[in-house]
Amino acid sequence: MEEITIQEGQNPEPQTPVPKESKFKKPLPKWVWITTLIVFLLAGAALAYWIITGNFFGNPAEVAKHTSPSPSKDLNDTPCPLDGVMTTKERVERRPLGIMIENAPEARPQSGLDKASFIFETPSEGGITRFLVFFVENDANEVGPVRSARTYYVDWADEVRAIYGHCGGSAVATDALASDKYVCDINQFSYGSYFWRSNDRFAPHNLYTTTDKVRAAANSAKCSQKADYKGFEFKDDAKKEERGTAQTITVNFSSTLFQVVYNYDPDKNIYLRTLAGKPHNDKVTGAQLAPKTVIVMHADRVTSPSDGTQQSHAVTTGTGKAEIFMDGKRIDGSWKRTNLSDRTTFYDAKGLEVIFNRGQIWVSVLPPTGTATSTP
């Protein structure tokens, strides 16, 4: 090291250290900092979107897992217009199915009646009763035996603009269906692949279908599947202390083979149905049929075409007497339907429209010689 000599009287100069040379001789350009900031911001936004939405880079399956369902579509928060049962909006918006089901002794027990929302029952020929069964919120994997159409059943199908499933019909009925602007006509003669014959019964008492098959047939026929009709008003069941304690309804359509008796169950607030002296059970489930509301509708005038032959006791427009049984009580009232584009409406003795309990409604339409009694 070089020796430094300091003479007397002199102050030494301070030795300033020489800084090391920096790696970066110049500061980073501004565009580098801006670009880096933008990249970080975009990455943060993408991460936030990924976490919040669950949209894992556009994977539809993952999106479905993390997407909340629509309450009005997937929850039972909408009343069915025909029976008031709470179901999904999607099912309420389905066009009702009206399927003809026979009630000859050889056809019993029937399949699918327990899934119905609303049923019309009346004799066809020879005092043999038949059902027009409407399905809305429920589906059934077996419905039948399916039988032929009659004009009065077609008229009732018009009420709810139904998809009408049947196997042939009277000449008057099939002619009416050919020009009917309210129903979608699904005749087994034209849509045979949507029906089948069972091997455990003899024809014609062995024709079956399903609700899905009839809807598929309607789709093949290019019919609208959208509901377009006016429903009823509904209420909750009466409190137990406000209900009747016992009630029996007897409906005589013709002979004892078709006599119906309803026995009221006050605990479940239902009417247990017997037919020809035996519990009327569903073929598939074995459950006894048990509507919430029973209506006896008097349509006791005879209509005839121009050739003078009798076609039906069942008048489908106009007005008449009706008895409505609900909550173990009887309401003496009336029914009214102005024209075929209207729905049959039921009124109490004061002329107010009846508000029904939620659940299956069964309407017995009496012929001129039919009777109905109730106790008490």
Mean pLDDT for 253-281 is 97
Per mean pLDDT, which range of 69-83, 157-171, 333-347 is the poorest? 69-83
**Residue 63 scores a pLDDT above 50:** no
Mean pLDDT for 172-182 is 94
Query: What pLDDT score was predicted for residue 299?
Result: 86
**Residue 280 scores a pLDDT above 80:** yes
**Residue 44 scores a pLDDT above 90:** no
171 band by pLDDT with thresholds 50, 70 and 90? very high
Give the torsion through C-alpha atoms of 156, 157, 159, 161, to 10 deg. -170
* Nearest in space to 101 (alpha carbons), one of 185, 164, 160: 164
* Nearest in space to 294 (alpha carbons), one of 357, 336, 233, 350: 357
Q: Are 315 and 299 in contact (CB under 8 A)?
A: yes
370 versus 310: which is more confidently predicted? 370
45 versus 70: which is more confidently predicted? 45
Query: What gap in Å lies between CA 344 and CA 316, rounded to an integer?
Result: 8
27 band by pLDDT with thresholds 50, 70 and 90? low
Percentage of the residues of the chain whose pLDDT score is greater than 70: 77
Tens digits of per-residue pLDDT, 117-129? Answer: 999 999 988 899 9
Burial of 21 per CB tally in 10 Å (0-12, 13-18, 19+): exposed
Query: What pLDDT score was predicted for residue 24?
Result: 47
Distances (CA, A) of 321 to 292, 298, 336, 349: 20, 5, 9, 10
Percentage of the residues of the chain whose pLDDT score is greater than 90: 73
Q: Which domains does the chain have, with CATH numbers?
A: 78-220 (3.50.90.10), 234-375 (3.50.90.10)
Q: How far apart are the first and last CA of the chain?
A: 131
Mean pLDDT for 56-66 is 43
Q: Which amino acid is located at 226 in the chain?
A: K
376 band by pLDDT with thresholds 50, 70 and 90? confident
Mean pLDDT for 79-91 is 97
Mean pLDDT for 154-171 is 96
* Nearest in space to 347 (alpha carbons), one of 367, 322, 372, 327: 322
The mean pLDDT value of the chain amounts to: 86
Query: What pLDDT score was predicted for residue 28?
Result: 60
Q: Which residues contact 235 (CB under 8 A, 6 or more apart)?
A: 84, 355, 356, 357, 358
296 band by pLDDT with thresholds 50, 70 and 90? very high
